[in-house]
A = this chain, B = another copy of it.
Amino acid sequence: MVHDYLALTRELALPVPEQLVAVRRDLHRFAEPGWCEVRTACKVTQVLSALGWTVRLGSDVIDTKARLGVPSQDTLDFFFRKAIETGADPATAEKLRDGLTGVVGILRSQRPGPVVAFRFDMDANSGVESGSAHHAPVRNGFASIHAGIHHNCGHDGHTSLGLALARVLAMKRDELVGEIRLIFQPAEEGLRGARAMVAAGALDGVDYFVGCHLGVQALKLGEIIAGYDNILGSVKLDIEFTGVSAHAAISPHVGRNALMAACVAAQNLMALPRHGAGDTRINVGFISGGESRNAVPATARLSIELRADRTAALEYLKEAADRVISGAAIMHDVRWDARPVGESCAASSDVELAQLVAAAARKIPEVTDVRDRADFKASDDAAEMMRTVQSQGGKAVYFGVGTPLNAVHHNPLFDFDERALGIGLKTLTRVAQALEARQ
């Protein structure tokens, strides 16, 4: 069965506002988790190509060694097959398979000018989507076909914005100077993808970096947050303790209790001291351990995350967590392993670019409320790209597009107001023009 999503002519023939909605709904329906966005990235590739963008993809834009949290081969294979079944171009898909799902579109002018990068994330999230008739995707027939995989964070909207921006900028290509890069990133959820694109050079030479998010700290249609500050840096760790089983009544002293090591570690991780000069967060999100009620548990696992609003505080947490985990393991004479499955630094928008975004937004009639800044209060691995650009002398901004939400991010009922897409696109377009003008 081949779906008609590649009826590009049809989608691109729509008026831009209608394209925004149509593409978003298509992506929502065929939601794909991080590193598995084969169909999504195929579509991005083909749209960009059709619009005349130079496209780089797969291993050209993903450094495999810098990836984090790549799922099992079974999962990768499953979504590859599904992508083919739901219309992905097999030749393109082949280049994206096995966790290589990044795409970069490039439009280079003959005239000198700055390199401006826009970043859009493509992955859906784990999570059961609501089946309620009150949930618009259900009502309008675009609920996710994959049970347990769900665009509950708005990345379907982000990617749709990217493709619409690609169309608008392609139409204005004669006015461009310098270079525009559209970065379509996999695996933002869990902070797994940005580093691999940075490591592959996708941000090399970028002067201005622009990212945006729907509905974070901005819940009103027409509201723009010109620049987020304090995107929290974060490390996600999967920790495993391995001990020795023993009969809990006959020979408890022979066991090496992995469950107790995990419990002690969990408690002491939560008790890591506050940092005097930075805001920190710690969570032990999952625990599991043990094999049988009457055996000393030989295995246990923790999934934790550490966050901080500045590098020094995050480094402090990492070192302290490492000590807690190893101390707990020594205490119970068990082996331990801590595997990072996601990581991103902290970052803040440059004031200069935030002012540029604010000025651009104020010119848009539908924008009724421009806030200069807000704390992001959560994490996004766009921060890795921002920090990279800032460290090479460029400027970065991450701005917010207001929208009412049916339910908070990551909720089964999460949904945004699709009219926000139009406002987001206009903001992006004006920001692009303003940055071009700064050359």
Question: Which of A42-50, A93-101, A166-174, A319-327 contacts the other chain?
Answer: A319-327
Q: How many copies does the complex hold?
A: 4
Contact between chains at A377 and B260 (CB < 8 Å): no
Q: Report whether B287 and A300 are in contact in the complex, using a CB–CB cutoff of 8 Å.
A: yes
Interface residues of A in 272-313 (CB under 8 A from B): 273-277, 279-297, 300, 303-305, 307, 313
Contact B276 A285 (CB under 8 A): no
A328 to B266, CA, bound (A): 14
- Chain A contact residues, majority secondary structure: mixed
Is A56 on the interface with B (CB-CB < 8 A)? no
A13: Cβ under 8 A from any B Cβ? no
Task: Flag if B274 contacts A285 (CB, 8 Å).
Answer: no
Given contacts A268-B331, A281-B274, A288-B287, contact A293 B304 (CB under 8 A): yes
A338 an interface residue at 8 Å Cβ cutoff?
A: no
The stretch among A102-110, A115-123, A247-255 that forms the contact with chain B is: A247-255
**A257, chain B: closest CB distance, angstroms:** 7
Residues of B within 8 A of A249 (CB): 232, 276, 281, 283, 307, 377-379
Q: CB within 8 A of A327: which of B232, B271, B331, B379?
A: B331
A307: nearest chain-B partner, CB-CB: B249
A5 within 8 A of B: no
Contact B275 A266 (CB under 8 A): no
In the complex, the answer to whether B324 meets A295 with C-beta atoms within 8 Å is: no
A294 touches B305 (CB 8 A): yes
Q: Report how far A174 CA is from B307 CA in the complex, Å.
A: 60
When C-beta atoms are compared, the residue in chain B nearest to A261 turns out to be B327
Q: How far is the CA of A290 from the CA of B304 in the complex (A)?
A: 11
B293 touching A285, Cβ below 8 Å: yes
**Would you call A285 and B281 a contact (CB within 8 A)?**
no
Residues of B within 8 A of A190 (CB): 293
Residues of B close to A410: CB separation below 8 A: 292
B279 touches A252 (CB 8 A): no
Q: List 20 A-B contacts (CB under 8 A).
A: A248-B282, A248-B285, A248-B305, A249-B281, A249-B283, A255-B273, A260-B284, A263-B264, A264-B264, A267-B267, A267-B271, A283-B293, A285-B293, A286-B293, A290-B303, A293-B304, A293-B305, A294-B305, A327-B331, A331-B331
Q: Which residues of A contact B (CB under 8 A)?
A: 190, 232, 236, 247-255, 257, 259-260, 262-264, 266-268, 270-271, 273-277, 279-297, 300, 303-305, 307, 313, 316, 320, 323-324, 326-333, 377-379, 408, 410
Q: What 7 A-B pairs come out closest when comparing CB atoms?
A: A327-B331, A248-B283, A285-B293, A286-B290, A327-B330, A270-B271, A263-B263
